Amino acid sequence: MIKAIVYTTNTGNTERYAKMLGHQINLPVYALKEAKKVLTKGTEIIYLGWIMASGVKGYKDAEKHFCIRMVCAVGMGGTGTQIQEIRDRNQISSSVEVFTLQGGFSMQELRGVNRFMMSMMIKTAGKALAEKTDRTPEENDMLDLMMNGGSRVSLENLAGPIEWYEHVRD
């Protein structure tokens, strides 16, 4: 039985999703560092982490301590995209459900190497996207996030994880 939601956040979007999900499905929510102190090893959890280069931050550490039943990976891409890539890159077992959630972007909240890497990505990928003449609505949204920042965190994006939880809980 799933006992908690555990998360790792960088700019706050993943934390907001974790707290929204916890409120919706009535589970306690802990940052990974705190969870390792208060939850016993092997506790069944839902894990939320932010995406960087298709890696889900904190996932491997959480996997060492807990029995992860569902992963929600939060990034700039659209909700429901990149699921197989996330599963493969992080070596997430087929027995673990995976969802991706669109979070947001804030250059001001990034520090050090993360800030440098994102500024390089914006200069290359952002420039290429800006020059593309036949952008999709998703590409327009991505370009807007890169150039202007913002948050796409919404309860609507949690529909899949909530539905999955309600199904496994019964």
Residues 26 and 90 in one domain: yes
User: What pTM was estimated for this model as a whole?
Assistant: 0.86
Structural domain span for residue 141: 107-148
Mean pLDDT of the chain: 92
pLDDT band at 170 (very low <50, low <70, confident <90, very high): low
Q: What percent of the chain has pLDDT over 70?
A: 99
Domain count, the chain: 2
Task: Map 48-104 to HEC letters.
Answer: EEEEECCEECCHHHHHHHCEEEEEEEEECCCCCCCHHHHHHHCCCCCCCEEEEEECE
pLDDT at 108 exceeding the cut of 80 = no
Alpha-carbon span 123 to 5, nearest angstrom = 36
Instruction: Identify the CATH number of the domain in which residue 58 sits.
Output: 3.40.50.360
pLDDT at 145 exceeding the cut of 80 = no
Residues 135 and 156 in one domain: no
Residues 91 and 16 in one domain: yes
Q: What is the pLDDT of residue 79?
A: 94
Residues 47 and 113 in one domain: no
